[in-house]
Structure 1
Amino acid sequence: MSTTYLPLLLAGIAVVLGLISVVLFYKVVIAPRKAEPSSQQASTPSPTSSAEQADTPSYQRQPKTSSKQSKKPTQQCLFVMFDAPSQAINQALGEMLAAKNAFYEAELGAFHLPPGPQGYPIMLASATSPGKLPPLHKEHKEGEHTPVQGVSILIRFLNTRKVSRNPEDLTTFTHEVAALGGKILDAKRKPITEESLAAMYRDGD
């Protein structure tokens, strides 16, 4: 009886092994081949998206950068040192500043002149330490102000080329102050002649 069932048992085992081979063949060979086309389609951009990217201007795809650089105002400074500081010079300087509607900033001890014909603001401060001018346009409560030894005249402008072509605001006021009895010095506190002053502005042309 055992010899009768032996062929059937072997046939059954062969069928099971055949089914296992078919399943393995499908998973190893057939399934990966089917997955490859779908992955290629996913990685390939659609014609619509490609067209949209092509139609999108480059400036929209790139980060915006500002072509305008912030302009920082530059400054030019001259000094006027008085030959013989006195109350008369204090009074004359105070009257000049009042006539020009200068604003006195007590915290800085400086006068601010309204922009002149060329539109450049000018600041007037003391040329000696601590760099503060008294309110010369007003009478001192305890008497007379200490005589001013000298003043620094500061002008701010956008660039050297503009002020070199229109130096009237700075030079005119500096000459007016020097006419009270003083000498004009450059930014390094060295004497400056009219020729040197004119040449300094020509450097910006």
Structure 2
Amino acid sequence: MSAHTLALTLAIAAGWLSFNTLVIVGYFFVCKKEALGLAAPDSFWLTVAGKRNKTPAVSPRAKPSPAPVKESMVTAEPTPSAELDSAPPPTLPPSASYSLFVIFDRPDVTLNQKIHALLQAWEAHYDATLQVYLASGVTPQNPIRVANAYPPGSMPVEEMFLDEANVLGGVSLIVEKPKRKRGFDKVQLGKLVELSEEFAALGGSILDEERQPASRKTFKNITGS
């Protein structure tokens, strides 16, 4: 055999071997994809197409109906009127002081003179800032304040106390409520009642903080005894 014939034979054999190898590799590659589920069977596209054709058409104006809600899951919110009905009535804050009022029967300059003398006897001094008289009593840090009660207004200074334009129709006596009714604080509350009684002895009547006639119960509630 010549060299030319031998080379041609080997070339044909190599091509045939390469072709068979390519066929075998392709066969195993396809089988492996099917085994792994990567290759879909021919009927797959027919099934999908059939399902698409069977899907009902939805009108663009149609709205899906809401799912029914269970009654147990619905909680009614209280209306404003219900909240107002159930709310407790507003209460006024408690007073921060004890107060008594003495209303005079016959106000005149003579009575003003007696009032002025009583204030001096209690060593009350005029406070220009508050425009009231302060009687120290037994607790100077919490004095008895004597103000004009009827009509409400400022008290006249000492040099104008006997002026007819400053005749007093009544006085109010005020003491701040102590945190605890004991010791000198309790005595000071007794002084409040005592001074109001001395003013009433000049010719007047004592009223409580609600402008009602004061009683022994009124005084007991103040002094605690």
Q: Are 1:88 and 2:88 matched, yes or no?
A: no
Partner of 1:108: 130
1:34-183 alignment runs, 5 A limit: 74-116=96-138, 120-135=142-157, 137-139=158-160, 143-159=163-179, 161-162=181-182, 165-166=186-187, 167-183=189-205
**Given that residues 139 and 185 in structure 2 are in contact (C-alpha distance below 8 angstroms), is that contact kept between their aligned partners in structure 1?**
no
Q: Supply the AA of the counterpart residue of 1:150.
A: G
- The alpha-carbon deviation at position 120 of structure 1 amounts to 4.3
- The alpha-carbon deviation at position 148 of structure 1 amounts to 0.3
Q: Secondary structure at the match of 1:138?
A: helix
* TM-score, scaled relative to structure 1: 0.53
* TM-score, scaled relative to structure 2: 0.49
Alignment length (residue pairs)? 129
d(CA) in 1 for partners of 2:221 and 2:143? 20
Deviation digits for residues 37-77 of structure 1 (CA, Å, limit 9, x no counterpart)? xxxxxxxxxxxxxxxxxxxxxxxxxxxxxxxxxxxx94200
Q: Supply the AA of the counterpart residue of 2:205.
A: K
- The alpha-carbon deviation at position 190 of structure 1 amounts to 0.7
Stretches of 4+ aligned residues off by more than 6 angstroms: none
Q: Supply the AA of the counterpart residue of 1:87.
A: V
Which structure has the greater CA radius of gyration?
A: 2
**Given that residues 146 and 172 in structure 2 are in contact (C-alpha distance below 8 angstroms), is that contact kept between their aligned partners in structure 1?**
yes
**Given that residues 118 and 169 in structure 1 are in contact (C-alpha distance below 8 angstroms), is that contact kept between their aligned partners in structure 2?**
no
Unpaired runs of 5+ residues, structure 1, are 1-72
Q: Are 1:185 and 2:207 matched, yes or no?
A: yes
- The alpha-carbon deviation at position 139 of structure 1 amounts to 4.4
